[in-house]
Amino acid sequence: MRLSIDGISYHVDVQGSGEAVMLLHGFTGNGGTWKETINILSGSFRTIAVDLPGHGQTDAPADLAKYEMEAVAAHLLELLNRLKIDHVHLLGYSMGGRLALGMSILYPERFKSLMLESSSPGLRTKVEREQRIMADQQLAEKILKDGIESFVDYWENIPLFSTQKALPVEKQRAIRQSRLKNRAKGLANSLLGMGTGRQPSWWDRLQELQVPVLVICGELDVKFCRIAKEMDKRIPDSRLVILEGAGHALHVEEPMKFGTIVKEFLMEIV
C-alpha cells in the first residue's frame, strides 16, 4: 500500500495478523529485505515493513529536512495512526535501528518492545559527529557524481559486509539487485539527512527505555558487538544476543536463526 505523509508517498507492506511489529531496514535496503523475517513472524504477528525516505518505492524528496531522524520518526508515528495501531513492537537494522531507538525515546508510550540489530545510539561527541558529517558529504557527492552502480560496487566491498562474501552466489546477486533499485539522489539525501553524524546522540538517554529490549549483533562484527555490549549495560530491561559466525546483516546472513530469536523474544512478551 501507499500512504502520503508530509508530502512523501511511503511504500508500506502489511502482512499477517496479531500484535503489530514494525520493521525498519538499513541504508541501501528496503522493506523487502525483511522477507525471510516476515515469513517467520507473520503467522503470529501483523508485520509492517516500510521503505524509508530515499529507499525502495518510497519517494526521495529534495528537502533534506524530510530525511532527518525526528521528521521520519514523526512520519512513521502518523503512519501507525493511519493504520489505527496504538502500540507496536519495533525492529530496526543498522540505520533502521538508529531510527527505531530514536522513536522509542521520543514516543515511548507507543511501543511495546524494541529490537536493535547491529545498531548504535549514534556518536558521543560533537567532534565525532562533525567528522562523520564531512565523510558522509563526500560519499553523497560520490554517489551523485558516479551513479548508483559505481556506488554499489564500492558499498558491497566495504569491510562491514565482508562476511556476505560467504553467502551463496544467488543470494549475493539478489542483494546487489535490491541495492541497484535505489536512486542516487535518494541515497545521497538519506546520508545527508539521517547519517550517523546528523542524528542526535542517544547514549545518555538509554536508561529512559522502559520496555523490553533485544540487542543483537553478529560475533564477527566486532565494532557493533562492542557497541551492543555497552548499550546492554545501560538499558534497564535489555537482553543481549551475539550470533556466532555472523557479521553485520544477521537477518540476511542467518535468516532462520535471526527470525527465530526475534519471534521467541516477542512470544515471551505478548
Residue 92 maps to which CATH number? 3.40.50.1820
Q: How many domains, the chain?
A: 1
**248: in domain:** yes
CA distance 184 to 12: 21
**183: in domain:** no
Residue 270 has a pLDDT of 80
**193: in domain:** no
**264: in domain:** yes
**136: in domain:** no
CA distance 13 to 3: 11
Q: Other CB atoms closer than 10 Å to residue 35's CB: what's the count? A: 15
Residue 78 has a pLDDT of 97
CA distance 141 to 167: 30
The residue whose grid cell reads 551513479 is 147
CA distance 247 to 244: 9
Per-residue model confidence as pLDDT tens digits over 27-49: 999 999 999 999 999 999 999 99
Residue 114 has a pLDDT of 98
Residue 188 has a pLDDT of 96
Cα dihedral value 193, 105, 220, 164, nearest 10: -50
**92: in domain:** yes
**155: in domain:** no
Half-sphere exposure of 109 (CA within 13 A, CB side): 1
Q: What is the CA radius of gyration of the chain?
A: 17
**31: in domain:** yes
**What's the pTM value of the predicted model, to 2 decimals?**
0.96
Give all strands (DSSP E) within the chain, no chain letters.
2-5, 8-16, 20-24, 46-50, 88-93, 111-117, 213-218, 238-243
Domain that holds residue 71: 2-124+199-269
Tell me which amino acid residue 193 is: G
Q: Which residues of the chain have pLDDT under 70?
A: none
